[in-house]
Structure 1
Amino acid sequence: MAYEDRPPLDPHPLSEYVAWAGKRNRDPILEVLRSKLPQEQGKVLELASGSGMHINYFAPHFPHLVFQPSDKTDETFENIRKLREEQNNSNIADPIPLDLTDPASWPEAGDYQSMFCINIFQVAPINIADGMMACASRLLSEDGFLMVYGPFRVEGRFTTSSNEAFHNILDSTGVPEWGLKDVADLRRAAEAHGMRLAEQIDMPANNFALIFRRG
């Protein structure tokens, strides 16, 4: 679907808009993952998997890895499983509930080589970053990384006028926490949990891929 055919803005994970945005950004994100994910066997955890469209698109490109979807509630778990079956993705585990604001919902420990989260911060409060970094610190292997993808402000500035306009469309989203968060806030949250912002990669459509590693 072309940009001019963009559906009306709707942040629900099963909406036409989210599906459109997901198809638009998935290949650039895949290229980042190709350059970062390990070549040997390992595990990858997706936070806030939503419909499961990203994890089901990425998994076939890395048959040596096991991908673990997760989300705050099980609302979209059926859709994740449906996509897995339709695409015959045998290296995707059953989705698990994981609420970044509730450490009791996190696995006790883990050795994930990577964690990733796509397009969550424009709809989630910034305090999610604290839980995300604490969760990554608990679950990542020693040389693992967390990738956070999406549009962000940089040191209080919008990088483009279109991102500023996107930030200011609260009335059409119905999401109280709508708005672009700042890379600096994620960096501070990371440092509080022994993580660091290792790379800030410019991506198409005025987005970033932020790579966090142990500090």
Structure 2
Amino acid sequence: MAGSEQLAPSAIAATCAARYVRPMQTMDPPCDTPDGARSSPAAARNALAILEVLKAVLPPRGEVLEIASGTGQHAAAFAAALPGLIWHPTDVSDEALDSIAAWRCTGPPNLAAPARLDVTDPAAWPVSPVDAVVAINLVHISPWRTTMALLQGAACSLPRGGLMLLYGPFREADRPLAESNAAFDASLKARDPDWGLRSVEAVAAEAAGQGLALTLRKSMPANNLSLLFRRI
């Protein structure tokens, strides 16, 4: 795992000021057909558990930016269950963006049109400011530099007190790694040596360098975690 490259608060402000920020886009009316929607069994299994966490920590009204929304199942489900929040799904993949758009066709009016976002490109972050940033199952299926870029982008997009929620499997220094997570980690690294389960401590240290404090660690089903960070 690459080392943490922390920024001082003044450097964070300079980085955010230098980053191109586009105003919040207006939602288009939903389309008429869900043709082209994709589904994920994992997303169906974990949606309710994640939703319970979101209900407990998100404000009743505001804007949520979801990073790497994938099929769009989560975005549609969470927007429907949290009608006071405008949910902004994003992804870098054309296939994912098409699927998100298809889910949106039958989704609630507070589900925004999907936007293309490569988290490693500081100029690509399309929504600012937002009340929360959510990233589900991204950190382990991407290089460490993606996590660093995610934390930097979230810090620039959140006001003081704004939150970021990360969900997925992690390593922890004081807890043995579950056999299923160890096998999953090995399979990820076999696919790409830059992938794999990250340590909570390393993510928290990098987040702290970006002005994001880890305030909650919650155990989730299937040996996953929800990690909540607040912008300080």
Q: Shorter-chain TM-score: which interval?
A: 0.7 to 0.9
Partner of 1:127: 145
The TM-score with structure 2 as length reference comes to 0.78
Once the two structures are superposed, the pairs formed by residues 190-209 of structure 1 within 5 Å of their partners are 190-209=207-226
Letter matched to residue 186 of structure 2:
N
Alpha-carbon distance, 1:178 to partner: 3.2
The TM-score with structure 1 as length reference comes to 0.84
Partner Cα distance (2:154, 2:174) in 1: 25
Partner Cα distance (1:28, 1:154) in 2: 21
Aligned residues: 196
Deviations 1:49-97 (A, max 9, x none): 11111111111111111000111233311111111113x3211111112
Alpha-carbon distance, 1:15 to partner: 7.7
24, 29, 32: which one aligns with 2:50:
29
Partner of 1:98: 117
Partner Cα distance (1:127, 1:196) in 2: 19
Partner of 2:201: 184
Once the two structures are superposed, the pairs formed by residues 1-215 of structure 1 within 5 Å of their partners are 19-39=40-60, 41-86=61-106, 88-107=107-126, 110-155=128-173, 158-170=176-188, 174-215=191-232
Q: Is the 8 A contact 2:38 2:71 kept in 1?
A: no
Unpaired runs of 5+ in structure 2?
1-36
| Larger strand percent | 1
Deviations 1:137-181 (A, max 9, x none): 11112221000000000128643122112111247x734433211
Q: Match of 1:142, SS? A: coil
Say what the alpha-carbon RMSD is for the aligned residues: 2.0
Q: Is the 8 A contact 1:159 1:206 kept in 2?
A: no
- Quick one: percent identity of the two aligned structures? 38
Partner Cα distance (1:69, 1:123) in 2: 18
